[in-house]
Structure 1
Amino acid sequence: MKHASIEREIRIEAAPDVVYKVVSAPEHVREWWPDEAAYTPAPGGTGVIAFGEEKCVPLTVLEADPPKLFRFRWAYGEGEVATPENSFLVTFELIPDGAGTLLRFSETGFTEKYAEDAERAQEYDDHVNGWNHFLPRLVAYAGRLVSSA
């Protein structure tokens, strides 16, 4: 189905344990994705990420299996509990690849959250553009961590 999921595979020149910290720990996540991140990076952990002062969105961690998998739901209504019908599901799967890591990224939930095609397409395009901007920053940040160690 069109506009159902965003998927990327990215090779990162950092070990899985480093990449796991980069995609899961708020102090690292805010270096490449949102302006602010405050959440508990453990299953059931909740919190928020913020883009500027205007856009603050809730986040709930579903799975945290270092250094293999980090999965969360985000962008649901304030005061709501994250469900497949009201949020996006982001998955970071980390696979050892020599001295580095193969990162399999996906974001789903567009078809569940938006019944109207035009609204779903707009949100999907916004997220594609966002991840196209932020995922390269993740790679660069992980590289800076490795080179400074």
Structure 2
Amino acid sequence: MELGTIEREIFIDASPEVVFEVVSSPDHLKEWWPDDASYEPAPGSTGEIVFGDRDTGGTVVAFTVLEVRPPSTFSFRWTHPADQPAAVGNSLLVTFELAPSGAGTLLKMTETGFRELGWEAAVLEHQYKDHVSGWDFYLPRLERYVAALGVRR
């Protein structure tokens, strides 16, 4: 197992403009991925996403927006220490690339940076597998959420 990059592609029955809004807006993001999200969808914006309830032990994760190119690319770094700027070596990089495909959108999600974090082998393997299972759970939720919006073009 390579343990360095996670890539997933899914087809979503909606325009790239709709899908871009759903993967970049914190109001939409929290409907299919974290339980809460606060950031501006603008390059350099910092904020956080929260899994669970922050007041009862939920996980708060630092989040920094890198690239915003509607309707084709949205990328961010996450998991870095909240008191440090996101950079190679202290965070993971997630990129959503969107391309028109028939009447919908082909979304490619890539997450990288696992090896650069300097984890020992067992931690690296655990974190990588945790993120693989996470994306395998959350990306279908993204697809269902867009379908529930009832917006196509």
Taking structure 1 as the reference length, the TM-score comes to 0.96
Q: Measured at CA, do residues 96 and 147 of structure 1 come closer, stay the same or move farther in structure 2, by a change above 3 Å?
A: closer
Q: 1:2, CA displacement in angstroms? A: 1.4
Q: How many residues align?
A: 149
Aligned residue for 1:18?
A: 18
Counterpart CA distance in 2 for 1:87 and 1:71 is: 13
Aligned residue for 1:70?
A: 74
Q: Structure 1 stretches (4+) deviating beyond 6 angstroms?
A: none
Counterpart CA distance in 2 for 1:143 and 1:95 is: 18
- Contact 2:32 / 2:142 at 8 angstroms: preserved in 1? yes
Q: Cα deviations across residues 29-52 of structure 1 (Å, max 9, x unaligned)?
A: 000000000001010011000001
Counterpart CA distance in 2 for 1:148 and 1:12 is: 10
Q: Tell me which amino acid in the other structure corresponds to 1:72.
A: F
Q: 1:81, CA displacement in angstroms? A: 0.5
- The answer to whether structure 1 residue 124 and structure 2 residue 128 are counterparts is yes
Counterpart CA distance in 1 for 2:129 and 2:17 is: 31
Counterpart CA distance in 1 for 2:152 and 2:90 is: 40
Counterpart CA distance in 2 for 1:69 and 1:107 is: 14
Q: Tell me which amino acid in the other structure corresponds to 2:76.
A: F
- Contact 2:18 / 2:151 at 8 angstroms: preserved in 1? no
- The answer to whether structure 1 residue 55 and structure 2 residue 69 are counterparts is no
Aligned residue for 1:41?
A: 41
- The answer to whether structure 1 residue 135 and structure 2 residue 139 are counterparts is yes
Counterpart CA distance in 2 for 1:117 and 1:45 is: 32
In structure 1, stretches of 5+ residues that fail to align are none
In structure 2, stretches of 5+ residues that fail to align are none
Aligned residue for 1:5?
A: 5
Deviates more, 1:39-48 or 1:109-118: 109-118
Q: How does 1:101-112 map to 2 (within 5 A)?
A: 101-112=105-116
Q: Tell me which amino acid in the other structure corresponds to 2:40.
A: T
Taking structure 2 as the reference length, the TM-score comes to 0.93
Q: Cα deviations across residues 66-122 of structure 1 (Å, max 9, x unaligned)?
A: 000000000111211001100000000000011100001110010001341111000
Counterpart CA distance in 2 for 1:45 and 1:18 is: 21
Root mean square deviation, CA, Å: 1.4
How many percent identity over aligned positions?
A: 52
Counterpart CA distance in 2 for 1:143 and 1:46 is: 29
